[in-house]
Amino acid sequence: MKLSEFKQLLARQADRNIRFVLPTGTKIPPQAHVTEVARIEKRFIDCGGTFRTEFMCRLQTWFSDDTNHRLTAGKLLGILQKSAAFLETENMEVDVEYEAPFISQFPVTSVATDGGVLEIHLGTKHTACLAEDKCLPPSLVTKAAFLNPIPELAPAKCCS
């Protein structure tokens, strides 16, 4: 989910408490709060030799024994608004970092209400070959694999 959409959903339900729901359906404890908002920038070269850059907004969650602590959608929206200066754009995906039992990142897939709570549903991430047209045998190349439309910039096969 893009940050712009996420902020709009938070604004519509500002008074509701937030609850994060893992891809398994398990709910992060209700006293969890967002301890960091980060702009994550990833610069890399894929296996086909193409330079890429990705940006995302990461919300780090944490909870303690303070079972009375509750984060509202309005409070999280306020934190995100303070982060606007360094996030620089709302056109980036949002993910949530949670230690369950090791630190993992989960993309925000949807937001829904459940009673008086705003549930933020989290999904899973997957790895992929971004240069299938250069690395995979022709029989395995998908129709959507042609990521470099400029043939003269295409590097030689790197995986063969």
pLDDT level of residue 152 (50, 70, 90 thresholds)? very low
| Banded pLDDT at 124 (limits 50, 70, 90) | very high
Structure confidence at residue 159 (pLDDT):
52
What order of strands is seen across the sheet that includes strand 93-99?
17-21, 117-122, 103-114, 93-99, 51-62, 33-45
Provide the residue ranges of all domains of the chain, joining segments of one domain with +.
Answer: 3-126, 128-160
Q: What's the confidence (pLDDT) of residue 74?
A: 97
This prediction's pTM: 0.82
Q: What is the per-residue pLDDT across 42-100, written as a single tens digit (0 to 9) for each?
A: 999 999 999 999 999 999 999 888 888 899 999 999 999 999 999 999 999 999 999 98
